[in-house]
Amino acid sequence: MFDAASRVVLQERLGYERYVLNKCGSMVQAAYGLVSAVEMTVNDEPGHVINIAIQDHLGAGHALGLVQDASPLLFSAAFKLLDMAIEWTIFENQGTCPWRFHQKRAIINAVPSAITYPDYLQADAHLRGVVIALYNQLAEHRNAITHGDWGENHDGELRFDYVVQFTGAHVQVNIPFQSVLDFAALAALVGDTLVDPALQTPFRISALRWLTDRIQALHGGAVVNALVPQFVKIRRVTTWQALTPVEVDLAAIRQFIAEAKPGVDTFFDLAVDATTPAGKVDWSIPSEAIPPGDNLVLDHNWDQYRAPAPQAPTPAPLPANAPCQPNPHWAGTVPDRWPLLAAFVGGCLFGYLVSTASR
């Protein structure tokens, strides 16, 4: 259940929706100023550095207008992604899945549930409950956009005003553009992390929980008061004089981050640039591999994250049948030097004969 082969199928089915959601998300980030991960350099002595890179994108305002115009499409793509994730879950459990929404809702809403969910959706009751609630609450909105006169789009805000086809209920509700963006971000993150379990890092799970608070008005469930997740790149620069393995004070780094970025749920990658008696040594350690303790000893157990030592270039060997190369001092000039050589030898011989004859 939920093996690698089944995730390939899921990846193929979610291809269009993931592309639309992630592409629109990138356009919105560009419109507001694309902010890269914060980089912090921690030195041996105070004088630490914090860098934030902000890029300006030409035409970003126009791109935001395009996303606002496509807000109904964005909402529909987000719901469709959740729909296909639900279908995949039901199929993995039962070997088949009905195609009507109300039939799928009957299966996932059954008590007690006979469905096992994939990965963190099984382990985290809150995230599972939000996904199910979004599926229950938003299905009629998606149907109205797809099949009928649903309402109007006002600068990205979806103003629903429609009659449910089978019940005759009159629905009037407004979903702000920011809520559409947050719903799209959550759906895209669910899709990405289910397709590739390696992406299910603590940072992304924290981001999912934070997004559920942002769209509480859509799912109607509990608020978990999740802190804003932020990802930081830490570069620890140190001169290590001892002959023992380099050590990193993780408690001090976490304290520095907490003071620099208060009130957020921070995760960090760690790069260590160490100058040791044996030379310069670098490590690059991903967030999920950093231990929870206060001190990190970079012994041989961390060699997989250690940069390879630079190697001196090795000259290419000559082919076995390569011809002998002449001395460059003589190459091309030997014929011109033969007269000088002959005169030198002759002079020496003449001097020897004269000295011999005079004895």
Res 333: pLDDT: 47
Amino acid code (one letter) for 217? A
Query: Is it the case that residue 308 has pLDDT exceeding 80?
Result: yes
pLDDT in tens, 31-51: 554 445 678 888 887 766 666
- Considering only residues 278 and 126, tell me which one the structure prediction assigns the higher pLDDT: 126
User: % helix / strand / coil in the chain, to the nearest 5?
Assistant: 50, 20, 30
Q: Helices in the chain by DSSP H: which ranges? A: 4-32, 60-69, 71-94, 101-108, 120-123, 125-147, 177-195, 202-214, 216-219, 250-260, 334-357
Residues 6+ apart with CB under 8 A from 310: none
Instruction: DSSP letter for 288, please.
Output: G
pLDDT in tens, 130-139: 999 999 999 9
140-149, 275-284, 312-321, 325-334, range with the lowest pLDDT: 325-334
- C-alpha 204/C-alpha 120 separation (Å) is 11
- C-alpha 164/C-alpha 146 separation (Å) is 13
- C-alpha 180/C-alpha 136 separation (Å) is 17
| Sign of CA pseudo-dihedral 101, 107, 113, 114 | negative
Query: Is it the case that residue 180 has pLDDT exceeding 50?
Result: yes
Res 51: pLDDT: 60
Give the closest residue to 121 by CA, choosing from 189, 21, 218, 67. 189
Q: Is 44 exposed, middle or buried (0-12, 13-18, 19+ CB in 10 A)?
A: exposed
Phi then psi for residue 99, to 5 deg, are -105, -15
CA 113 from centroid of its chain's CA atoms: 34
Amino acid code (one letter) for 136? N
Res 230: pLDDT: 85
Res 43: pLDDT: 86
**Mean pLDDT of all residues in 150-156:** 95
Mean pLDDT of the chain: 84
Res 352: pLDDT: 44
DSSP H or E run through 284? strand 279-285
Quick check: bond before 286 cis, omega within 30? no
Query: Is it the case that residue 119 has pLDDT exceeding 90?
Result: yes
- Considering only residues 35 and 294, tell me which one the structure prediction assigns the higher pLDDT: 294
